[in-house]
Amino acid sequence: MSTAVSSCMLDLLDDNYVLEDYQSAVPRWCVGCGDHGVLTAIQRLCRDEKLRPEKTVFVSGIGCSSRFPHYMSTYGFHGLHGRALPVAQGVKIKRPDLNVFVIMGDGDCCSIGTAHWIHAVRYNMNMTAIVLDNGIYGLTKNQASPTSPLGQVSNTTPTGTHLEPLNPISVTLGIRNASFVAQAADWIPDLTHDIIQQGFRHKGFSFIRVLQRCPEFLEHRYDEWVQDPDRMLLLKHENGLDISPELGRIYRNQEVHDPSDRNRAREIASGGDPIPVGVLYKNTELPCYEDWQVPETMNSAETVSAFLSSEFDKFTIDPAGAAG
């Protein structure tokens, strides 16, 4: 067999993936946690988009959702609480060729990580940021988060929360340079996949909030919307979501919304009932920050290895030297 034919066959094999190619450890989330559905949606996305695992990176902070990189058979970085975005931006600056995803929780992004969130929207780097919003600090066992519903009793609010919950979609739409803003719900998995896919295909910073259920601490928060599909508002448009006939028979409350209409997007986002699902805003004309900062030459594997070795050597304890 010729070298050219062999190369073509290898390329063909590399371009065909199945879900198992992106699956790593068995998820340790609670049974019924919305994170499971989002994980499957993203693994489907990777398969459908034929993303090479060695060219894909998942970055997270701290929280239940931030275990995400452990369950993806790709590169991953499990960082500090609220600091996923600056790590992801560093990755994208040095390796603009990589597919970068950022996975955050509501407390991770909207509390300690707020400043990074706001400036990440401004910088508009080409990455997909997904906030898995269950309205509670679950990993540390039931503390109120910025998106907890009014009156929520928790370990930190024993008499109930007194502040209205923060709306991450409204906040993002209010930041100058917002590029792609969307909202999904874990109990409509097909749309969750489609929304994340649109965010990935968008060139710029895609901010996607996924409303999800926490079976341990906020088990019944979305029961009314799950049980009554008419209380969900599906946004559709030729430049947004395409609602299938099967899904349309279940979710009949729909609106044709042009995602270039920012003012209407803000109006939709400010309403809490019905809950909007879809692409609220999209601007394809904004430049990406990394396009201005792309390095002239990419670091080779040898360069990276030499740099890491020199840095590690600064902290190496030489047993012979120590004895002397």
Q: Do residues 269 and 280 lie in contact, with contact meaning Cβ atoms separated by under 8 Å?
A: yes
Q: Do residues 74 and 22 lie in contact, with contact meaning Cβ atoms separated by under 8 Å?
A: yes
Nearest to 105 by CA among 140, 137, 67, 131: 131
The answer to whether residue 188 scores a pLDDT higher than 70 is yes
Q: What would the pLDDT profile of 133-183 be if each residue is shown by its tens digit?
A: 999 999 999 999 999 999 999 999 999 999 999 999 999 999 999 999 999
Identify any residues that bridge with 136 across adjacent strands, giving them in sequence order: 144
The answer to whether residue 207 scores a pLDDT higher than 60 is yes
If residue 76 lies in a helix (H) or strand (E), which one and from where to where?
Answer: strand 75-78
Q: What would the pLDDT profile of 104-121 be if each residue is shown by its tens digit?
A: 999 999 999 999 999 999
Looking at residue 324, its pLDDT comes to 44
The answer to whether residue 1 scores a pLDDT higher than 80 is no
What gap in Å lies between CA 282 and CA 260, rounded to an integer? 6
Looking at residue 81, its pLDDT comes to 92
Burial class (CB in 10 A: 0-12, 13-18, 19+), 108: buried
Read off φ and ψ for residue 232, nearest 5 degrees.
Answer: -105, 140
Provide the Cα torsion 104, 105, 106, 108; round to 10°: -70
pLDDT (average), residues 73-81: 95
CATH 3.40.50.970 fits 18-289, yes or no: yes
Q: Give the position of tokens 């988060």.
A: 145
The answer to whether residue 82 scores a pLDDT higher than 60 is yes
DSSP state of 72: B
Least trusted range by pLDDT, from 62-66, 92-96, 306-310: 306-310
Looking at residue 296, its pLDDT comes to 66
Least trusted range by pLDDT, from 76-90, 123-137, 295-309: 295-309
Give the residue with greater pLDDT, 313 vs 178.
Answer: 178
Q: What would the pLDDT profile of 30-55 be if each residue is shown by its tens digit?
A: 999 999 999 999 999 999 999 999 99
CA angle (192 as vertex; 186, 196 as ends), nearest 5:
135
Per-residue pLDDT band for 300 (boundaries 50, 70, 90) equals confident
What gap in Å lies between CA 52 and CA 89, rounded to an integer? 20
Per-residue pLDDT band for 234 (boundaries 50, 70, 90) equals very high
What gap in Å lies between CA 201 and CA 258, rounded to an integer? 18
